[in-house]
Amino acid sequence: MDIDETHTPNVVYAETAQHRTAWWLTAPALCLMILILLVPVVIAGILSFTDYSLGNDTFNWVGAKNYDRLFSSSTYEKMFIATFTYVVTVVPLSVGLGLGAALLINSMGRIGDIYKTIYFLPVMATLLAMAIAWEFMLHPSIGMVNRTLEMSCGTVLEFIPFLKNGCAERFPLWLGDRDYAIWVICFIGVWQGFGFNMVLYLAGLTSVHRELYHAAEMDGAKSAWEGFRLVTWPALGPTTVFVVTISCIRAFQVFDTIEAFWPQGGGPNKSTYVMMFAIFEKGIQQNLIGIGSAITVLFLVFVMFLTLIQRWLVERKVHY
Amino acid sequence: MADLQIDHVTKTFGDTQVLKGISLDIADGEFVSLVGPSGCGKSTLLRIIAGLESQSSGAIRIQGQDVSGVRAADRNLSMVFQSYALYPHLTVAENISVPLKMRQLSSLQRLPVIGAFMPGAHEKNAEIAASVKHAAQTLEIDRLLNRKPGQLSGGQRQRVALGRALVREPAAFLLDEPLSNLDAKLRVQTRTEIAELHRRLGATFVYVTHDQVEAMTMSSRIAVMMGGEILQCDVPDEVYNNPLDIRVAEFIGSPKINILPVEASNGGLRFGDVVLPTVAPKMLKGPIRIGLRPEGLRLAAEDAVLTGQVMHVENLGSEIFAQINLPGHDGRITMRASPAQRNSLHIGANIGLAFEGRAALLFDPNGKRVFNPQVDPVQSEVA
Amino acid sequence: MTRDLWKHLILIFGALIVIAPFYMMISYSFKSPGEIDRGEGGFFGRQEMMVDERCVKLRDPDRDDVATAAPRFPNQTDRQIRDALVAEAVADCQMRPIVFNYTKAFTEAPLLRYLLNGVIVTASIFLIQIVVALPAAYALAKLKFWGREAVFSIVLFCLLIPVHAIALPLYIMLAKVGLTNTYAALVVPWTISVFGIFLMRQFFMTVPDDLIDAARMDGMGELAIVWRVMLPTAIPALLAFAIFSVVAHWNDYFWPRIVVTGNRDLFTPPLGLREFKGDGDGSFFGPMMATATVIVTPLIVAFLVAQRRFIEGITLSGMK
């Protein structure tokens, strides 16, 4: 307080005034937070125990029936399989490639900036537009991918079984093939996401003190690998925790590509029926709010669990 | 422990030559300071000795053996960095043990978790733990062994960095401005401790600093570097009293030496119209400069050589520094006086100054020292 | 040197895969349908004149047209006049593929409207986010008031909730108040950026208290301090947040897909592209890719121009 201490009543007045302004300043944010973020979570929780649908005035409590269906029906089994396949594939690959690219680029000075720019392009681009571009690329007959693969026919590359089969019969349908669809989605997920991880790692790398590498050398670290183990990797610890968490959360939310490729049904044989798509299809399109809410609740549990793990890991390492 | 030999080392970055053929022999057990203003190449020289950078030409020899092309890790030198460069994720004990682990354990034994179960790892780890404890006790940081660097004060970190350097027995210790991140009080204290540590270990120390006080107080020898060259390398006393170059004279000593432009002719010197009590070599002619240490000047009445006006007085309690304006000379000169003379040194007072002829250091127009026949007849004849 | 060569080879291989869909998207937007089908014409296509079949069909002359055109063609039979008119139509409907693709992109669907919607939505979201978040962040960082810790823990909790995840309950709430298919529906859920509050609070914590006290001594009220002292100091952080927010909402597809159904006037660019794809036939690859290019270009160009800022903004979420 700047007010002269002798005027005690003024100080008290000023403090209550400050309290009031503080509340006025936070009130809009607080109201919106409650209304837009907290209330919907509660609503989702409540509705997941009902058979509510929009347009109906009433609803019935159905207990845990919605959750029962989630864990018993084969459709939802496919949903969990697709979601976890995607997360478990995309997260390590996009984190690993991001780290690899960051290390390579970081080691090569200014020329590396070109690669940085290129690798970051997919992060900026509208994913839906790029999904459509990929759909053309993967078109079974006129797509660039199969055309490129066809070029290898008749060359030495044909010893690779995949190419040999492709040349003998036909190359995969990619998006139309239940064995390939989910992997194509994963590939696009990695394609889009690793540049983001790369710049996070690059930012992390700039904060590594150069003298630490010299210290490691003086201490007897002879190879680049030993320097990485002793200095780089530990220094990137917090970055890695963050990158893995945010990659997980983003991976859980995959939707655009799947909706663009298969507006109905979640891919061949529901092989790409991920949770966000399920929420969209059940809750919005089919107006089955109860089951949609149940998926929403599960989704929130996964995501919150991940973030809490992240926070715990960061806090544990806070004394750096 | 070993001696170091720096033999005509040069270093060029692009077009600029940072080191212009440095030669320096450092005897076993010596404490040599490389001192100079920032950008003089002293840190580069230290890093070349360490093997963190390679010289453009010349050689570094440790114990007579040329180490050019030998990696830093294999030179068996210890270094204390300006930023301490402690591994932030490791505890103090782990930090100190790194140099031993990297050298004594195989890469399998260093693996996390399973490394401890590799044959022989247990004994070696016990040995290392003992060495770490010993080093920590030497530096009185054994209470801190389980903390991480982030939980330590600057002074404590500095000790951990020292501990990491002395936990093994290197050929020499290299210290790169290790005190520059400490506050003034701690710096004085640590100065003493490092000097004592050197005496106790009897090891070779190469110490880089920009602070001439550190260099003066700790070293057996000081190498004053400027513009990529060593201007003078000698014991502190000689560097202070007998600087060979005007830049050395100006760099060493606080407050700075007073430089006056004078005119030399026929073995005498004139400052403006005043004839100075200093004898110059006969062949010296034309404008030269002389250096007068603040403590070489004294207040004088009748025998005053110079007169001037007191502009500012700094009272340090045990001594007084007066800044005096001499007519016909831009810039002030500084004089040291005893507290007893405080009364005659009030601001604005006109005072007279005198000095012994031998107190003046003569520098030729190129800034090289000209020996004064009064001080050192032998050297003046050589010159 | 050889090691650097290997690095470059690896990075170039990655860059090719990253660039491929962009290359294809832009290339197809230049080419005629035939060239796309046959996969020829290099990057730009041959740019031979092509005939727009729909345009010709649209100008197919009927009896009246022939009658009105009769004076221009004296002494000719109706049949001849008709053929001449068709030939004229064909001549008029000839154009370069690149012109064809891009005009179709803008005329076949109201693309300009979509782009305008995109601008309106992203701009309103960002402005409201700032108006709400900045005062709250200031109060949380610099004012002492009863309940501050509680409000801040709500902020921390809300950081765990991705808005996409609670799309279903939000949609129900908006439907209940009759706001679906409005601009409000597109904007409202994003008005509160918990991340923005958190980020700005962290930033304001670093602003020295003395600056605020000085402003108070100069007679500013708390609200004036927010807008006249804190806002200008926070410009770099705000810019980064702006980029973060605009990129996210320009590219967002999931939320508009849910709340906007049918009403083309409210379509955001990704929705417009989706619609285009939905009713496009095979020959419309070119215009569709032109639309995709138009949608992706603004952000990509902005990114290439102000690369450092963009990367800063996008990686913002990674900073502590």
What average pLDDT does the segment B96-115 reach? Answer: 83
* Helices and strands counted in chain C (H then E): 19, 2
pLDDT at res. A15: 72
Nearest to B85 among A209, A220, A222 (CB): A209
pLDDT at res. C282: 54
* Contact: B89, A320; criterion CB under 8 Å: yes
pLDDT at res. C17: 94
B374 by Cβ neighbours in 10 Å (0-12 / 13-18 / 19+) ranks as middle
Rounded-to-integer distance, Cα B62 and Cα B48, Å: 12
Q: In chain A, what residues touch B81 (CB-CB under 8 Å)?
A: 211, 214-215
pLDDT tens-digit profile of B67-84? 988 888 889 899 999 989
> Identity (one letter) of the amino acid at C202?
Q
Chain A residues 131-190 with CB within 8 Å of chain B: none
The pair phi, psi for residue B182, each rounded to 5°, is: -100, 155
Using a CB cutoff of 8 Å and minimum separation of 24, what contacts does C96-99 make? Answer: C96/C47, C96/C48, C96/C49, C96/C50, C97/C30, C97/C31, C97/C32, C97/C35, C97/C45, C97/C47, C97/C48, C97/C50, C97/C286, C98/C29, C98/C30, C98/C44, C98/C45, C98/C47
Rounded-to-integer distance, Cα B374 and Cα A267, Å: 102
User: B90 to chain A: nearest residue by CA?
Assistant: A320
Domain ranges, ordered by start, for chain A: 1-47, 65-316
Q: Do C and B count as touching (3 or more CB pairs closer than 8 A)?
A: no
> Identity (one letter) of the amino acid at B148?
K
pLDDT tens-digit profile of A49-83? 998 888 887 888 988 899 999 999 998 999 999 99
The pair phi, psi for residue B105, each rounded to 5°, is: -100, 145
* Contact: C161, A300; criterion CB under 8 Å: yes
Check if the interface score ipTM surpasses 0.85.
yes
Rounded-to-integer distance, Cα B256 and Cα B234, Å: 19
Q: How confident is the model at residue A317 (pLDDT cuts 50, 70, 90)?
A: low
pLDDT tens-digit profile of C52-71? 777 777 777 777 888 887 78
Query: How many percent of chain B have pLDDT more than 90?
Result: 56
Average pLDDT score over chain B: 89
Distance of CA C157 to CAs A48, C79, C194, C320, Å?
21, 78, 9, 17
Contacts of A103 (CB under 8 A, 6+ apart): A201, A205, A228, A232
User: C176 to chain A: nearest residue by CA?
Assistant: A54
Residue B180 belongs to what H/E stretch?
none
pLDDT at res. B376: 61
What average pLDDT does the segment A26-33 reach? Answer: 94
User: A237 to chain B: nearest residue by CA?
Assistant: B89
For chain C, the maximum distance between any two Cα atoms, rounded to a whole number of angstroms, is: 97
Among C1, C6, C8, C11, the strongest candidate for a mutation testing the A interface, having the largest count of A CBs within 10 A, is C11
> Identity (one letter) of the amino acid at B100?
L
What average pLDDT does the segment B6-25 reach? Answer: 92
Chains touching B (at least 3 CB pairs under 8 A) are A
pLDDT at res. C20: 93
Q: How confident is the model at residue C276 (pLDDT cuts 50, 70, 90)?
A: confident
Query: How many percent of chain C have pLDDT more than 90?
Result: 38
Q: What is the pTM of this model?
A: 0.85
For A74, other C-beta atoms within 10 Å of its C-beta total 8
Residue C34: both structure tokens together: 């035939």
Domains of chain C: 49-95 (no CATH), 112-279 (1.10.3720.10)
Q: How confident is the model at residue B374 (pLDDT cuts 50, 70, 90)?
A: low
pLDDT at res. A30: 94
pLDDT surpasses 70 at B383: no
* Contact: A126, C169; criterion CB under 8 Å: no
pLDDT surpasses 80 at C296: yes
* Contact: B79, A221; criterion CB under 8 Å: no
Residue B348 near residue B274 (C-beta atoms within 8 A): no
User: A207 to chain C: nearest residue by CA?
Assistant: C319
Q: How confident is the model at residue A252 (pLDDT cuts 50, 70, 90)?
A: very high
Half-sphere exposure (Cβ direction) of C320: Cα atoms closer than 13 Å: 14
Nearest to C20 among A37, A119, A144 (CB): A144
Rounded-to-integer distance, Cα A190 and Cα A101, Å: 13
User: C190 to chain A: nearest residue by CA?
Assistant: A36
For residue A242, give how far its alpha carbon lies from the nearest alpha carbon of chain B (Å).
Answer: 17
pLDDT at res. A176: 84
Closest to B6 in 3D by CA, of B229, B220, B247: B229
Contacts of B292 (CB under 8 A, 6+ apart): B257, B258, B260, B333, B355, B359, B360, B361
Rounded-to-integer distance, Cα B49 and Cα B298, Å: 45
pLDDT tens-digit profile of C159-208? 888 899 999 999 999 999 989 899 999 999 999 999 899 989 988 998 88
DSSP assignment of A7-18: -HHHHHHHHHHH
pLDDT at res. A216: 92
Q: How confident is the model at residue C307 (pLDDT cuts 50, 70, 90)?
A: confident
Q: In chain A, what residues touch C311 (CB-CB under 8 Å)?
A: 116, 120, 199
Spacing of C-alpha C144 from chain mean position: 41
Domains of chain B: 4-241 (3.40.50.300), 256-382 (2.40.50.140)
Higher pLDDT, A163 or B127: B127
Q: How confident is the model at residue A2 (pLDDT cuts 50, 70, 90)?
A: very low
Distance of CA A15 to CAs A3, A10, C230, Å?
10, 8, 21
pLDDT tens-digit profile of B243-254? 999 999 999 998
pLDDT tens-digit profile of B112-154? 777 778 888 888 889 999 999 999 998 889 899 999 998 899 9
Residue B324 belongs to what H/E stretch?
strand B320-325
Q: In chain C, what residues touch A136 (CB-CB under 8 Å)?
A: 24-25, 28, 285, 289
Helix, strand or coil, per DSSP, at residue B362: strand
Q: How confident is the model at residue A178 (pLDDT cuts 50, 70, 90)?
A: confident
Rounded-to-integer distance, Cα A65 and Cα A294, Å: 10
Chain A residues 228-257 with CB within 8 Å of chain B: 230-231, 234-235, 237
pLDDT surpasses 70 at A8: no
Closest to B4 in 3D by CA, of B67, B56, B81: B67
User: B164 to chain A: nearest residue by CA?
Assistant: A219
CATH of segment(s) A65-316:
1.10.3720.10
